[in-house]
Structures are given as C-alpha cells and as structure tokens.
Structure 1
Amino acid sequence: MIKKNLIVFIVCLIIASGLWIIHHLNQTYTREYGIDAVITHIPKAYEQDSMLIPLKIKVKASGLKIILLENHLPSKIYIPFKDLKVVNKKKLYSIHTESISNNEQLPVKIKILEIQPDTIRINFKTKKNK
C-alpha cells in the first residue's frame, strides 16, 4: 500500500513539475544583452567597408525564446548601411529596432524594446583618388 501511494505521489510530482516548467516558459520576460553590430555595405565613396559598434539591446520574449537566445546569441550582428536612417547631415545615424529584430542571424523572432546607443556618430573619410 505504501509503495503504491509513493509511486502515485512521485508521478503527480513529475506531472506538476512539468506543468510548472511549461507555465514559466510561456511567460514573457525582459532581458538585456550586449552585442556587437557590424555596419556593412558602406558606400564605396568612403574608406571603410564596415564598422563595429558595441550595442546594448533590451528584448522582450517568452521564456523559451529567451533560453534559445541565450544559448545561440551571435557575437556579432551584421546590419546593412542602407538600414540606418540619416538624422543629421550624414554624420548621425539612427539604428532601427527592426534591423535587429528581423535579423536572420538571431535564432528566434524577438521584440526589441530599446537599443543603446540608438543614434551613432559616424565620421567617414572619403577615398582619395590617385
């Protein structure tokens, strides 16, 4: 009798633990990550062909997506220059959240709440023709 009660208790405990894990994986969480953004496809009139910018991104996603993101977060995200928005006379550029959230390098689709810095200053030197 005691063995039967113990087996029933253990089975119920396993089922309850599984349901608890599923519940917490479906909840929405907010996390902050540091990631390097590489600006690529810079116009050929400039000396640089790419540029590295360290970013902090704040994301909102379900627990399962957060786990996948933490295990498969790339060290660098490549953003094309055309995805940047000119803010001030071609020296200040704004990074859109869509250019990161829709990036195919991320393992899952996430909602970006905040990017720091969201505006970057780029001083390009034009190529000198010889």
Structure 2
Amino acid sequence: ANKGETQTVIAKDYGISQRRVGQIIEKKEEQIRKKEEAKKRALQYEKEEGIEIFHGDFKEITKRFPDNHFDHIITDPPYPEKYLPLWSDLSRIASRVLKPGGFLITYSGTYHLYEVMNRLSEHLEYYFFHNLP
C-alpha cells in the first residue's frame, strides 16, 4: 500500500480525518528528526570538548568505570515516589565515581524534594540551586 492508502485505512480505523493522520505522522517524524539531530550534536560535543554522554540506567553504566572517574555527572532521575530509592543509589554511586571536588548536578521534582535531599546527603554534600544563570 502507498502512503495515502495507509493513511486512509488508519483514519477509518480510528475515526479521524486523513488530514489529522497526516498531521500526527508529520509531528512524529519531526520528533524523530529532532532526536537524531540531538544525537549528532551530542557526538560532536564529545569529540570537540572531551565530554562523555551516556544514556541509560546509571547503575549499569557506572559499573564499567573506576573510582574517581568523572568530573561531573548531570542527570534527571524519574520523579514519582516509587523511584525514591534510586536517589540513595545515585548518592552512593556518584560518591564513588566522582573525582574529589566533582559535582552531581541533578533535576528533581518538588513534591518529594525533602526526601530526595535526604537520600542524596547519605553519601554526598549538597548545594541547592533554584536557578542557575
């Protein structure tokens, strides 16, 4: 089937216009394109700046690195309550793989912030920044 025929079938199956199907497809294609561009930029930064970028489970990724390996870690763990134990793991692992004087820079939601900060302080000293210039 060609693109037009496929969109017609999808529109009929979901009870939406073929035009709307086209818009949804275009939006998804744009998201994919932006993601690919971001990957290319990340690889370029790695080459130019000596930056290492990893995407995935930090508990698995950090197993392959020795103590005191990283200058900085920047991460954005999941925010829901069921993931709070990850913050303790992050504190423990970051204290191992960060060089002395290194920084763990992380995003956090505000709802569980008190618990997040307590868990991070299990193995790290923390500095709280609301906004950075």
Q: Of the two, which has the highest radius of gyration? A: 1
Structure 2 length normalisation: TM-score?
0.28
TM-score, length of structure 1 as denominator length: 0.29
Bigger helix fraction: 2
The structure where strand makes up a greater share of residues is 1
Looking at both structures, which has the greater relative contact order when contacts are Cα pairs under 8 Å and sequence separation is at least 6? 1
